[in-house]
Amino acid sequence: MLVGDPDRLTDIAMFIIQVFYIFAFVAVFILRSRYPQSEKTYRVPLYPLIPVIAIIGAVYIVGSTLFNNPTDTMYALAITGAGIPVYVYLTKKTVND
């Protein structure tokens, strides 16, 4: 299936990485709008231009991967989705301890 084809594995990994990059760059806008009075410990040069360009680029990569390789994107989403129960279990365990 996925074992033995490093190109396919890197395509799957890059798809998920780009999805999380989109989340991170969007989070910059959300946090700065929700907490405008907080100290800006993380400076973004040319804000908001750089995050907008990054979001557009990442959306292009994710969209082209979805269009050109739908099977691999489904694998990527399934692999990432399989980690959600593990995350929930570990965070509940940490909170309860």
Counting the structural domains of the chain, the total is: 1
Residue 17 included in any domain:
yes
Is the pLDDT reported for residue 93 higher than 80? no
Residue 1 included in any domain:
no
- Residue 12 near residue 79 (C-beta atoms within 8 A): yes
Tell me which residue range forms the domain holding 72: 6-96
Residue 66 included in any domain:
yes
pTM over cut 0.85: no
Per DSSP, the residues of 18-87 read HHHHHHHHHHHHHHHHH-TTS---S--TTTTHHHHHHHHHHHHHHHHHHHH-HHHHHHHHHHHHHHHHHH
- Determine the pLDDT at residue 1: 59
d(CA 30, CA 2): 36
The residue that leads in pLDDT, 3 or 22, is: 22
Write out pLDDT tens, residues 45-75. Answer: 898 999 999 999 999 999 999 999 999 899 8
Residue 55 included in any domain:
yes
